Amino acid sequence: MVRLVLAAFLGFALMVADHRYQYLETVRGSLSVLVYPFYYLANLPDTLLHRVQGRLADDEVLRRDLAALQRENLLLRARMQRFESLEAENRRLRDLLGSSVRVGERVLIAELLAVDLNPYRHHLLIDKGARAGVFVGQPVVDARAVMGQVVRADPLTARVLLITDVEHSLPVEVLRNGLRAIASGTGLINQLELPHLPKNADIRVGDLLVTSGLGGRFPAGYPVARVATVDSEPGNAFATVTAEPLARLDRSREVLLVWIPSSSEHAAGDPSEHSLNEAPER
C-alpha cells in the first residue's frame, strides 16, 4: 500500500510538473535516448523489407522509373531557370521598395522511422534530432506541401506534429486572392477545416491554400491544402470550409526540415512557446 501511495504521488507530481511547467524536458530527452534502441528494432522489419524490395525490383521497372525521373528532372530544371530569374527580379524590386526579404532557406532531408506512437494523435518520428540541429517549432515539408512542425527535438530523433492533428492550427491564405484563414486539424488524415470564415468570404472549391507566414513559424508561400468543400448552412454563423492537405501525410517516407534564416532565432526559443501555433480551440 505504501508503495502504491508513493507511486501515485510520484505520478501526480510528474504530471503536474510536466503539464504546468517545462521542467522535465531533460528527463524526457534522456528517457528518449533509452527507448531509441526500441525504435530502431521496431523500424528494422520495414527497412529490411524495403531493401529486399529494392533488390528484387525488375530491370524493366527500374528503367521505366529512371526514365520518368529524368523527364521530371528536366521539367523541374526548366521551371527552376525561370524561378531563379524571378527570384533575382523579386529581390531587386524589394530592394527598390526597401523591404526586407527572406531567401535561401536551408533544408535537410530526414527519414521517417516506421513506428506506431500514439494511435489517436498524428505524430511522426524522424531520424534526425537535436544533434542535427533540429529545433522545436521547425517546419516540416515533403515534396508537395507542408506536413507539420517539430514538437520535440530529442538528441537522436524528433517528433513531428502533423497539420491534421486535432491540436494543430496554422495560418494560411488563399493563393488566388490573399484571403487569410486558419487551417485547423480535424484528427482525420485527409481533412483540414477553416473555421470562422464569414459566409460571404471569397473562397471556392479548388482554391489553393498556402502558408501566410503570419505567426512566424512557417515560411510564407508553401502550399498546404486545396479547398474541398464550402458549405453555408443557414443555422451557422460561419461558412463550413474543409480542405484536403496536399502533402502525402500518411505515405511519405522522407521529409524535409526547413530552416528560415531570418526568423530561426525566435522560433528556436523556449519549448513552452510551441502553443503559439496550436490554437486551443477545441
Task: List contacts with other proteins (CB under 8 A).
Answer: 3-4, 7-8, 10-15, 17-19, 24, 27-28, 31-32, 34-35, 38-39, 41-43, 45-46, 114-121, 123, 151-152, 159, 166-167, 187, 250, 282
**Residue 160 vs 210, nearer CB to other proteins:** 160
Across-strand partners of 162?
A: 148
How far does Cα 169 stand from its chain's mean position?
A: 11
CA atoms within 13 A on the CB side of 5: 2
Residue 26 or 81 having the CB closest to other proteins: 26
Closest distance of CB 38 from other proteins, Å: 5
Nearest-approach distance from CB 39 to other proteins, in angstroms: 6
Give me the amino acid identity at 138. Q
Pick the closer one to other proteins by CB: 163 or 260.
163
Residues 6 or more apart in contact with residue 263 via CB below 8 angstroms:
102, 216, 219
* SS3 state of residue 54: helix
Beta carbon of residue 150, minimum distance to other proteins (angstroms, whole number): 12
Nearest residue to 249 via CA among 197, 186, 174 = 186
Residue with cell 524495403: 50
| Least separation in angstroms between CB 121 and other proteins | 7
- Please say which residue, 113 or 260, places its beta carbon nearer to other proteins: 113
